[in-house]
Structure 1
């Protein structure tokens, strides 16, 4: 998959700074952008499942996810623990 036209500058920068061929740099950029374009609800559900699989409990999980969301490159809206629970459990 090639990067979209609006991503050309970043593809060129990644290729130049890493020495990667432009097609590989485009794939890397697409992967990174896809990660950051993940809808908040999908991110919350995935992280909740990952943290539960590590044996963590909800009182630790929800504050951690809230902090991660605040630190994302493109910050998600501030969500309360209750909102996070609703995303996970409906």
Structure 2
């Protein structure tokens, strides 16, 4: 992990949770890695997860689009067609 801001976050998480600094750093690294995931990777992963739950594409693509809008650093608005292209090429 690098950067003053990330160090501040680790210190905050450690102080507010009572976690040891090393554990807090791993938690922060995991959360930041999640939010640094490129939109295309996220879309493919979520599509696979939702299909595994038995959901169908007419339900999956609007759900993924809504999730993308709610991410900490929002991905660009992607149409259902764009989402399909990410998943299927």
Deviation track 1:40-68 (CA, whole Å, cap 9, x = no partner) reads 00000000000001111100000000000
Q: TM-score, normalised by structure 1?
A: 0.95
Equivalent residue pairs, number = 88
Aligned-residue offset at 1:73: 1.1
Extract structure 1 runs of 4+ deviating beyond 2 A. Answer: none
Structure 2: tracts of 5 or more residues without a match = none
In the other structure, the counterpart of 1:32 is: 31
SS in 2 for 1:67: helix
Structure 1: tracts of 5 or more residues without a match = none
Q: TM-score, normalised by structure 2?
A: 0.96
Cα distance in 2, alignment partners of residues 4 and 18 from structure 1: 21
Aligned-residue offset at 1:74: 1.1
